[in-house]
Amino acid sequence: MEKLINDFSFGLFFWQMILFVLLLLLLKKFAWGPILNALNTREEGIKNALDAAENAKLEMQNLQADNQKLLQEARAERETMIKEAREIKEKMISDAKGEAQVEADKLIANAQAAIESEKKAAIVEIKNQVANLSIEIAEKVVKNELADKDKQLKLVESMLNDATLN
């Protein structure tokens, strides 16, 4: 170290300082500047990529929330449609039952009316047959009664007695 102090020259020191400063300026312009610019560009690119990733994450969360909302709405709509379909089905069944009951009542009423009219027709026919039979029997009895002259006189007398009594 002593030798350095003894051999120290201000001219050499001055030129070395100028070269050092010149070297520093050249390095700053051609080496550190581009290196720092590249680092800044890379840092900004990384920052942009992180921001984009964060934005994509937020957008994904929003999309998932929207999807969940759409699923809930679809489920609610499906439940509403199922409920309406059930109500329509029950209404159709009750309407069909009502129509069937009305139709059955009409058929029963028509059947009862038909039975009643056939019953009346049968009664009228039976009455006619009874009347015809009665007439035939009366004719036979009267023929038998009127065949004999004595019986005819007795019949006329009994009718006259009945007629005067009434």
Sequential DSSP letters for 120-165:
HHHHHHHHHHHHHHHHHHHHHHHHHHHHSHHHHHHHHHHHHHHHHH
Percent of the chain with pLDDT over 70: 95
For residue 26, is it within any domain? Answer: no
Structural domain contains residue 94? yes
Q: What is the pTM of this model?
A: 0.41
pLDDT single digits (tens) 92-143: 999 999 999 999 999 999 999 999 999 999 999 998 888 888 888 777 777 7
Q: Is 147 part of a structural domain of the chain?
A: yes
Domain assignment present for 120: yes
- Do residues 151 and 145 lie in contact, with contact meaning Cβ atoms separated by under 8 Å? yes
For residue 69, being part of any structural domain is answered with yes
pLDDT score recorded for residue 13? 84
Whether residue 100 is contained in a domain is answered as yes
Range of the domain at 135: 33-165
pLDDT in tens, 43-63: 999 999 999 999 999 999 999
- Judge whether 10 lies within some domain: no
- Count of structural domains within the chain: 1
